Structure formats: structure tokens, C-alpha cells
Structure 1
Amino acid sequence: MTANTRASDLTDRSEKISDAALLELSRRKPERFGEIYDRYVGEIHAYLGRRLDRQAADDLTAEVFLAAFRKREAFDPQRGEVRPWLYGFATNLISSHRRTETRRLAALQRSAAVRDGTEHGHEERVVTRVDAVSAQARLAAELRALPDRDRDVLLLSALGDLSHEEVAQALDIPYGTVGSRLWRARKKLRAALGGVNPLAGGSHG
């Protein structure tokens, strides 16, 4: 074994290896993709669960990482980071389950009150931020009425805690489009909540 080979092996085993470098490495050593999975499976599953439900999240999380594994050769680190790339797969899969999300929003709209001691969905988390339980039904209705593309931008920002740039990478849209869609969605929600900003202290750009 040469010195260069030993150095390469040490680099491969480094716990500090970046996401992009790890994804590149997985092209030669597919088993290393498992480390990408370990790093992000929790937050991707949580995001899907808040948008849809636990059963859908269980199913779709596996699909997100399977799609990413199959397309890892096409990942271009010059275009962005691995994390928003994964959220892009998640959002694409959500688009094929819009009925599930719509049913969830409709059920929340009917419930009208946050349930203590239970797992909260994404709408309830946004309502909690403004401390306005009575507004939950109105907020759910407005989220349900948002165009899919505006809702995706809003919830990637609010739930995924993605920056404007990361949302742009996830959805493969211009940075300016993120800002305009987010502004439009926030404006509608503020109007529904009597002028209160539902994302106060939340997203960043």
C-alpha cells in the first residue's frame, strides 16, 4: 500500500468529511452513502411528517434517499449543498401526495384548537409561533388555499429552516422567485390573522 493510498483511506474514514465530498466518495464506494442517510434521515422524516402524516413520512423518507442515491452521479456541488438537494426530492414527492396534505389541513381547520400532548403538524407549529390558538382554523384554511408552489416555499422556510438560497436550490428556482413567493404567502397569512406575521422570528434569507 502506498503512502497516497493510506492517506486516501484516512480521508475516507474522516468524520469531518463534508457532505459534498462524502457524496462524491459514494460514487466509488456506494456504502458510504449510508452516512448521508444517517446525517439527514431524521430531519427529512420530520419535515415529511409535518407536511403529511407519519405513515406517509415513513414511506416517502425511504423514497427520498433512494432517489438521491440513484441520482448521486448527477449532483453538482457547484450548484449548492446536499441538504437542500435532499429537501428538493422530499418536496417533489410531496407533490404526488397533495390530497394527503389537503386532508390534513382540512381536518386541522375543523379541529380549531391545538391538541395538547399529541404530535403537532406543521400548521400547528406555525400557529404556536404567533401564540394564537384561536387563529388555527383560519391559518389552516389559508395554508390550504395557497398555491402549491407558494406553500412549498413557505414551509421549506418555516419547517425546514432553509435560507432563501437553499429554498432556491431545493426547488431549482431563481433566488428572486423565492422572495416573491414567500412575500405573497406571508401577506395572505398576515391578512387572515389580522395583520400578525405568522413567521415572526422564523425564517432567514
Structure 2
Amino acid sequence: MNRFKRVKAVDVGTLTDGAVIERSIRDSESFAVIFDRHAPYIHRYLARRLGAGIADDLAAETFLVAFRRRERYDTARPDARPWLYGIATNIVSQHRREEEREYRLRQAYVPATSEASHDDRVATVVTAQSLRRMLFGALAELSTGDRDVLLLIAWEELTYDEAAAALGIPVGTVRSRLNRARRLLRDALGGDSTITIEEAMSNG
């Protein structure tokens, strides 16, 4: 997955992402630090959305796109992760059908449970599986914009401001999309107000 040569951490390890990217304009190998800092998170995000089989290639593509666009990065921003999530989300947008198919597959998949499990443990597992099936089915039905906002906040724990920066939309739009997505998913989960959407998605 790593197509960038590494530089010694002592050279730029204490710099902000913005400073590292600024340096990488004249010293391209410095960009490897951005990869090392954020690749695991971007890879996880892509694997969650499109499956592990394609995540390696798309994570590499994300960082290659970022590398080519690094001169456009606002170096006053100390954390490049929202920017990288935005690039990754744009790449996901090219694979919408694959993403929806991935959720349908997860909706259909039911992990085996041990027959030796206690009754209460079995009941808990069955309930969790039922919630996950409903959740992934609902995710496949969300509009792309609502799904992007929801997953960046619920899975990747971005703030509203960070999600807005990642997607290039106003914070108010993030709030309205998130509220709509939460309402639709809560309806899909039977209107259960005792569990938050983030909790339902925490092991997604």
C-alpha cells in the first residue's frame, strides 16, 4: 500500500501536517510522513465502505491524488485528515454500486454462533445481528450525500466542521444531512430511541 519512500521521522515528525505538506512541495519525500500518519485511518474508512478487498488500491489512490494536489492544500490547517477523507469520499463516489452491494452483502451475512453459548448471550448476539442487518440495509438506501456525512461522523468521528471541510459543504448542510440520515436510520431500526445510531454502527 505504501508507494512513498519514507523519510526519517526526526526530520519532520514534530511538524504539523500543514507544515509537512508545505515542505513536501520542495522535498517530495517528506509527503511519506502524511502517509504514515493517516494511511491506517483512510484504509479503514475505505474498507468499511467498499470492503477490504479493494481498500488497499483505493487507499493508495487517495494518497497519490493527495500528493498531486498538495500544492493546493491550505497549510494553515494543522490536520490533513479531513482533506484526505474528502479525497477518499470522492473516490468512493466512483464506486457507488460496489458500496451498496457491499452493504447488501453485510445485510445478508449472519455470523455463526456457538451452540454452547448461554441463552442470554445468544439473545444478545441475535439482537445485534438483527440490528446490523437493518442498519446495512438502511445505509444502502440513504442518498449519497447523507451517507457520506453520516459515515464520516459516526464511523470516523469527524466533527461537523471537519466533515464540512472534507466534503466542501457548509456546516449547516452537514447538520441537516446528518439529522435526516439519523432519522431515516432510526426509523429503519424500528424507532428505538434507546440506542444511538453511532452505537448501532460502532462495530460496522
When normalised by structure 1's length, the TM-score is 0.80
The runs of 5 or more residues in structure 1 that have no matched partner are 1-11, 117-127
Q: Aligned partners of 2:112 and 2:38: how far apart in 1?
A: 28
- 1:15 aligned residue: 13
2:148 equivalent among 146, 149, 152: 152
Q: Aligned partners of 1:149 and 1:47: how far apart in 2?
A: 16
The alignment partner of 1:173 has SS state of coil
Does residue 166 of structure 2 align to residue 170 of structure 1?
A: yes
Q: Aligned partners of 1:69 and 1:180: how far apart in 2?
A: 32
2:18 touches 2:77 (CA, 8 Å); kept in 1? no
Matches of residues 91-170 of structure 1 in structure 2 within 5 Å? 91-111=89-109, 113-114=110-111, 132-170=128-166
Amino acid at match of 1:24: E
1:20 touches 1:81 (CA, 8 Å); kept in 2? yes
Shift of 1:114: 4.7
2:178 equivalent among 179, 182, 193: 182
- 2:121 aligned residue: none
- 1:198 aligned residue: 197
Amino acid at match of 1:199: E
The alignment partner of 1:187 has SS state of helix
Q: How many residues align?
A: 178
1:114 touches 1:136 (CA, 8 Å); kept in 2? no
Identity level (%)? 48
Shift of 1:14: 4.3
Between 1:189-198 and 1:65-74, the stretch displaced more is 189-198
The alignment partner of 2:197 has SS state of coil
Amino acid at match of 1:192: A
Shift of 1:201: 9.7
Amino acid at match of 2:58: L
Shift of 1:79: 6.2
1:79 touches 1:169 (CA, 8 Å); kept in 2? no
Shift of 1:133: 2.3
1:66 equivalent among 64, 67, 75: 64
The alignment partner of 2:191 has SS state of coil
1:80 touches 1:169 (CA, 8 Å); kept in 2? no
- Per-residue CA distance 1:36-95 (angstroms, 9 max, x = gap): 111111111111011111121011011100000000001113467311000000000000
Q: Aligned partners of 2:72 and 2:112: how far apart in 1?
A: 43
1:150 touches 1:181 (CA, 8 Å); kept in 2? yes
- 2:29 aligned residue: 31
The alignment partner of 2:131 has SS state of helix
Aligned Cα root-mean-square deviation (Å): 2.2
Q: Aligned partners of 1:79 and 1:19: how far apart in 2?
A: 8
The runs of 5 or more residues in structure 2 that have no matched partner are 1-9, 114-123
Shift of 1:110: 2.0
- 1:121 aligned residue: none
- 2:118 aligned residue: none
